[in-house]
Structure 1
Amino acid sequence: MQKRWKWWVGLLLSLTLLLAGCGAAKTADNTAASTSSSAQGSAKAAVQTSVPQGTISIKMLDVGQGDAILIQTQEQTVLIDTSDVDERDKLRAQLAKAGVKKIDKVILTHPHADHIGGMEVLLDGSYEIGSIYDNGMPSTSKLYLSYMKKAKARGIPHHALKTGDVLDFGGGAQFKVLSPEESLVQKGQQKGYKHDPNNESVVGRLTFGQFAMLFTGDAEKEAEASIAARYGSELKSQVLKAPHHGSKTSSSAAYLRLVQPETCVISCGAGNDYGHPHKETLKKYAAIHAKTYETDKNGTITITSDGKSYEVKEEKS
């Protein structure tokens, strides 16, 4: 009888330990599930930061033979390049028309006059400027030295961009820098280096939900080949800002095959001395069935997107 009692006690102890083990396993599963849920929530929150908010407006301003592209999201105003010296009045008028008083980010693709010539307008005290970005290359250009001096005097932060940098434009819009490479920036900062400003242009891909636009400065075929080798099919974008004002020195066929643009927008002046856009380039755009717009013919070109689709409007005055 005593042996039988001990047997029952042993059995009860075994069952108790077994149930305790099951309880521990169940608690561990719940903890794991809770951790997984938390991780999923964090991931979801991270995804939500890039979800488009409202719409984005991208205006290729009609400022003659130069570049000035105004980007407005729900949170920020960004200006990529500032037109030429002799087009400052046009730039001022276009900014006033858009109601711009504050510019969060000014991005200067390279120090040629037709891209940085309007910086005097921005730094004369009429506008609040958040930060200035460029390609980090030193320049002996008087325009470059002048704006750098004035920006420093006003205490405006200056940053150099390189491949892989990502700028937040607010409202779910992001600008990923594709060029110049860091190695090129480092070479460009060395004394005696022979610069090629066009191929040192800041090139970046703007994404807003499912919408993408490629900004190219004056990058030519050499830079295009380097960018294509690094990014390949990642370059695909619905809209292409035609590099170098539609020059035949840019928009290589291989590059266009990767970008696959549906729309190409060209900034150029009517009857300009360079013959921009060149016929060879326009034929390439036609060959890929891309709709082409030119500021000299169509005026300011406005692209609006909700992150899913986009539309293009002409504002010829």
Structure 2
Amino acid sequence: MVWSRGVASIAVAVLLVLAGCGGFVANGIDSGATQPTATETATPDSSSPVAANGTLEVHFINVGQSVATLLVSPDNETMLIDSGDFTDDGEYVLQYLDRQDIDRVDHFVVSHNDADHIGGNAAVIRHYETEENGVGAVYDPGIAASTQTYERYLDAVDAHNVTLYETREGDRIRFAGVETTVLGPPEPYLENGDRNENSIVLRVEHGETSFLFTGDAEDKQEAYLVDAYGATLRATVLKAGHHGSASSTSGALLDAADPRTVIVSSAYDSQYGHPSNETLARLAARSVPTYWTATHGDTVVTSGGTAVTVSTQRAAPTDPLSLRAGDPIAPGATDPVSERATYRAGVSVRADTPVVTDGGTPAENTSGDLVVDRIRADAAGDDRDNLNDEYVVFRNAGAAPLSIGGWTVADESGRTYAFPEGVTLGPDETVTLHTGSGTDTATDLYWGSERPIWNNGGDTVTVTDVDNETVLERSY
């Protein structure tokens, strides 16, 4: 079959399998899934998840004002979603794949054909077809672009005879050890074939954990997804749409997906202002820990099936409203990643049941007499409506009275509270610091914040004394 390039008159002789063609199954894609109709809605499999074997790795590569994501399945199959901007011609992506010892791209997913998503397509195909073990197949939404970058991409597909599938809602990509469902674009296309609004949307499941990739979907496609799939969009990890633009990652999508954490990919000095303040405010209102490739660098999320662990090149704020307080890290930096936090699938992590991230014991206090006796980061119901049910209990573990008046409590993002003058704890006495407002007593103090402080998915409680010396640091 011949796929016309649209603007260009040149035709590319590639194998193009149209989605929905009579249950056709070939080379990894199953196009036989039922499509939504006026009376029937296709939904991701809502049955009990299959027990996960092994580890799924998802690498959000720092490629500046662009996107590239590498997935490595438990069976060591690989999937690359997008390839960075045309200005670096795949350099950052190829360097990263080389550092990860990737010798084959089994599934190459093109979310849509804008130049900041397909910039490295030609280089990746050329490299893996001539110097490594090839590209298994390319998955494309089928909407052309009138750019030289798009022309070079299709030239590479043609020159190396790579299988190319037009991919639509309802398809399933057979990614070994992982359930991968295509939720977009629909048939017919939305918004007269607008490229952003017809991005390939993937939901990837590994055991109880899930990842949602929405490409550059904006308000129209997000509304379609929410209407068609509702709460079955739920994801442990959400890749923020369209680099965190104001027209993506809507409140409705966030409420449906209910992510434990969100990853944003854009440049630190984005000419478009990505991520937008509106999007960050929506994330902050829902207390979603957020990682930004511009300040955290390459971000690797690993799933063992029941929880995900986030590792980044740099430690930086994850409070959405404090993201820009982090220092920039250049694309292509080769710093190793370190574990930062773990998030359980399905429910927020409660700090009063610490999550073990190192295979050993939970983080311990390093403070001496003042210790954290208990943390309740996840208040009953909506955290925003129950601020005083979010709290930290401090205890004097020493044998003598301990004066903590004037000492400062801080979270990872740098928000602070000062203990009132005169606060003293006797041996084994406790005081509870509530997030909201109230009248201070000998046993209960109130931060006075109008929104949640402690991240449900993990944070660090730091206490410094009047000399600004750290006397307590407790991570959960």
**Pairwise TM-score range, normalised by the shorter structure:** 0.7 to 0.9
Contact 2:49 2:208 in 1 (8 A): no
Partner of 1:73: 73
Contact 2:55 2:303 in 1 (8 A): yes
Partner of 1:98: 100
The alignment status of 1:152 with 2:158, answered yes or no, reads yes
Partner of 2:240: 242
The aligned runs of 1:107-118 (5 Å cut-off) are 107-118=109-120
Relative to structure 1, the CA distance from residue 131 to residue 49 in structure 2 (aligned partners, 3 Å threshold; closer, same or farther) is: farther
Partner of 1:60: 60
Contact 1:65 1:272 in 2 (8 A): yes
Partner of 1:136: 142
| Letter aligned with residue 198 of structure 1 | N
**Per-residue CA shift, 1:278-311, capped at 9, x if unaligned?**
1111111111111100000000010000111111
In the alignment, which of 228, 248, 251 is matched to residue 249 of structure 2? 251
The alignment status of 1:169 with 2:182, answered yes or no, reads no
**Per-residue CA shift, 1:140-197, capped at 9, x if unaligned?**
32222221122122111000111111112112x1211111112218xx9xxxxx5411
Partner of 2:302: 304
* Separation of aligned partners in 2, 1:282 and 1:272: 15
Partner of 2:202: 204
* Separation of aligned partners in 2, 1:93 and 1:155: 24
Relative to structure 1, the CA distance from residue 104 to residue 286 in structure 2 (aligned partners, 3 Å threshold; closer, same or farther) is: same
Partner of 2:221: 223
Structure (1 or 2) with the greater helix fraction: 1
**Per-residue CA shift, 1:193-223, capped at 9, x if unaligned?**
x541110111111101100010010000110
1:57 Cα deviation from its structure 2 partner: 0.2
Contact 1:204 1:216 in 2 (8 A): yes
Contact 1:64 1:270 in 2 (8 A): yes
Contact 2:49 2:207 in 1 (8 A): no
* Separation of aligned partners in 2, 1:272 and 1:48: 41
* Separation of aligned partners in 2, 1:231 and 1:300: 30
Contact 2:259 2:288 in 1 (8 A): yes
Cα RMSD of the aligned pairs, angstroms, is 1.8
Structure 1 residue ranges, 4+ long, deviating more than 6 angstroms after superposition: none
Contact 1:77 1:103 in 2 (8 A): yes
2:175 alignment partner, SS class: strand
Contact 2:86 2:149 in 1 (8 A): no
| Letter aligned with residue 119 of structure 1 | N
* Separation of aligned partners in 2, 1:84 and 1:126: 22
TM-score normalised by structure 1 residue count: 0.79
Contact 1:111 1:141 in 2 (8 A): no
| Letter aligned with residue 219 of structure 2 | K
1:94 Cα deviation from its structure 2 partner: 0.9
| Letter aligned with residue 235 of structure 1 | L
Relative to structure 1, the CA distance from residue 49 to residue 104 in structure 2 (aligned partners, 3 Å threshold; closer, same or farther) is: farther
In the alignment, which of 159, 174, 186 is matched to residue 181 of structure 1? 186
| Letter aligned with residue 115 of structure 1 | H
**Per-residue CA shift, 1:125-149, capped at 9, x if unaligned?**
3341110001022333222222112
| Letter aligned with residue 102 of structure 2 | V
Contact 1:164 1:176 in 2 (8 A): yes
2:188 alignment partner, SS class: helix
* Separation of aligned partners in 2, 1:69 and 1:141: 23
Contact 1:199 1:222 in 2 (8 A): yes
* Separation of aligned partners in 2, 1:302 and 1:288: 23
* Separation of aligned partners in 1, 2:295 and 2:303: 23
Partner of 1:268: 266
What count of residue pairs does the alignment treat as equivalent?
A: 263
User: Between the two proteins, what is the percent identity of the paired residues?
Assistant: 33
The aligned runs of 1:17-32 (5 Å cut-off) are none
1:114 alignment partner, SS class: helix
Contact 2:115 2:149 in 1 (8 A): yes
Partner of 1:30: none
The aligned runs of 1:287-298 (5 Å cut-off) are 287-298=285-296
**Per-residue CA shift, 1:203-259, capped at 9, x if unaligned?**
111101100010010000110001111001100111100000000011111111101
**Per-residue CA shift, 1:5-50, capped at 9, x if unaligned?**
xxxxxxxxxxxxxxxxxxxxxxxxxxxxxxxxxxxxxxxxxx9995
* Separation of aligned partners in 1, 2:91 and 2:155: 22
* Separation of aligned partners in 2, 1:257 and 1:246: 16
Contact 2:80 2:105 in 1 (8 A): yes
* Separation of aligned partners in 2, 1:84 and 1:216: 18
Structure 1's unaligned 5+ residue stretches are 1-46, 189-193
Task: State which drifts further: 107-116 or 143-152.
Answer: 143-152
Point out which structure has higher relative CO (alpha carbons under 8 A, 6+ apart): 1
| Letter aligned with residue 94 of structure 2 | R
1:182 alignment partner, SS class: coil
Partner of 1:27: none
Q: Of the two, which has the highest radius of gyration?
A: 1
1:302 alignment partner, SS class: strand
